[in-house]
Amino acid sequence: MSKTETTHFGYKTVPLTEKSGKVADVFNSVASQYDLMNDLMSFGIHRVWKHFAINLCQLRAGQHVLDLAGGTGDLTAKISPIVGDSGHVTL
């Protein structure tokens, strides 16, 4: 008899082979409301640090920007008008 490998998922123990699917299910269930969830959980502070991060980059028209781990693309949407039509943002 072979023993199934298990791991923790929240407060449960699940088969290791099921964990990645369960994680994907959690993210898929909140994806459409992710930005709203950030607003509520951070009391809007995440908008302040995103504005700060964009200003810190000192972006200018014509620049090319790579948004790594861009999530919902909200920073990309804010950066795009700054770099303009002569620039490019990749998410």
Residue by residue, what is the 3-state secondary structure of 28-45?
Answer: HHHHHHHHHHHHHHHCCH
Confidence (pTM): 0.67
Q: Over its length of 91 residues, how does the chain's per-residue pLDDT go in tens digits?
A: 567 899 999 899 999 999 999 999 988 888 888 888 888 999 999 999 999 999 999 999 999 999 999 988 999 999 999 999 999 999 9
Spatial CA neighbour of 7 closest among 25, 26, 20, 28: 20
SS3 of residue 12 by DSSP = strand
Other CB atoms within 10 A of residue 89 CB: 21
Alpha carbon distance 12, 28 (integer Å)? 20
Q: What is the dihedral of CA 53, 59, 62, 67, to 10 degrees?
A: -20
